[in-house]
Chain A
């Protein structure tokens, strides 16, 4: 009986998705232009300076379809990740020692150009994959007691992304979801920490125009 009870719901879900893909384009107010504004959750990878994920970031992107499916555009994103480092004694040189606890901040701000290939542009669900390239500004910062040290750094940024624009209503905006990986060549050092490259995995949720 349970199977019978849930079967119609599953069927309805499948039907809704199928209809979504089959539905004609509803929101043509921007023509061949598109834009996304997102909140993002970012997880730094392979980085001892900051490992903890956070939701302190945004992503802005806009572009133009040069063919039915291929678009080019520009983007800017920024994110802050933090990590508390318990009190420890750092050997900051051959004879210098520093005892303190710390709050680390890793701020990343990539911007540049993007290329996107979108499927089913006329449908309710418009999945895509994209690649973003450009420079990345990064800042390593540590707060300890009343003090602060930081190191500014620039690198080259590359980020593959998969996502989907969803337009469930007649008018825009719709919903945007995405997952990305990014790597930047930024290098920096602060106190006893050396960072050589910045990798991230992240999720985005926002609005699609």
Chain B
């Protein structure tokens, strides 16, 4: 057995000879991941509420929102796509059938436990469920999510505000999108990439329509 050790070490050394692919060829647009609740009937909804800010998940333990012109460009892309799918934006949360919550992962400094996919739910001030209504059981995904995460990621969660409310009821997330990529040094480029990614998320979610 001892004689095998140098041989196995040699094998291990040679595995390091793998030639990495040239990633310069990649287009550097965002990776766009979407998932949804197959049981949801997206045609039953007519209206949606979309806050005018994007929650920033950063290194602070208090809520921070992004609402400047760049944020508005990204939010407008959601509005454009939701309207195209036949949904109407309303200004009162209580009147909405659907809620859209947008978050941007500025960094992952605050987190120590990534043991579950929806780790960002624990972020201080993360879209508190009472913001949307009386769902004492918190949010839940009716499907399995396989997110990775990194700095510069955008998270989108579409909530079914028509779900039954109560202390023991949960607020279902019926569609989610995760967009992530290497950020450039130009804010303008990053915002443009994010807007493209939002439109892509809708493009690959053809079921998300009430038409």
Residue numbers of A with Cβ under 8 A of B are 54, 56, 58, 76, 78, 80, 82, 84, 87, 89, 92-105, 107, 109, 111, 137, 139, 141, 143-147
Contact = CB atoms under 8 A, between A and B. Distances in A.
Given A99-B33, A103-B25, 17 more contacts: A76-B11, A78-B14, A78-B15, A89-B204, A94-B38, A95-B36, A95-B38, A97-B33, A101-B26, A103-B23, A107-B15, A111-B11, A144-B26, A145-B31, A145-B181, A146-B180, A147-B180
- B18, B21, B31, B200 — most chain A CB neighbours (10 Å): B21
8 contacts: A58-B17, A76-B14, A89-B204, A98-B32, A103-B22, A105-B18, A111-B11, A143-B23
B31 A82 contact: no
A82 B34 contact: no
Given A96-B33, A147-B31, A84 B11 contact: no
Interface string B1-45: 000000000110011011111110111111111111110000000
Contacts of B34: 96-97
Contacts of B31: 98-100, 144-145, 147
Interface of B: 10-11, 14-15, 17-23, 25-38, 143-144, 146, 148, 150, 180-182, 200, 203-205
B204 A97 contact: yes
A137 B15 contact: yes
B32 A147 contact: no
Contacts of B205: 97
A103 B26 contact: yes
Nearest to A96: B35
Chain A contact residues, majority secondary structure: strand
B29 A87 contact: yes
Q: Which label, helix, strand, loop or mixed, suits the secondary structure of the B interface? A: loop
Given A96-B34, A97-B34, A99-B204, A143 B21 contact: yes
Nearest to B152: A146
Nearest to A104: B21
B25 A84 contact: yes
B28 A145 contact: yes
Contact of B30 (A58, A137, A145): A145
B192 to A, nearest CB: 16
Contacts of A137: 11, 15
B77 to A, nearest CB: 15
The 3 closest A-B pairs by CB, nearest first: A103-B21, A80-B19, A56-B19
Contact of A105 (B15, B20, B32, B143): B20
A82 B33 contact: no
B38 A109 contact: no
Nearest to A84: B25
Contacts of A58: 17
A101 B24 CA distance: 12
Contacts of B182: 145-146
A54 B22 CA distance: 13
Contact of B27 (A76, A95, A97, A101): A101
A203 B32 CA distance: 40
Contacts of A84: 25
Nearest to B25: A84
Nearest to B26: A101
Contacts of B15: 78, 107, 109, 137, 139
Given A78-B18, A103-B23, A146 B150 contact: yes
Contacts of B203: 89, 99
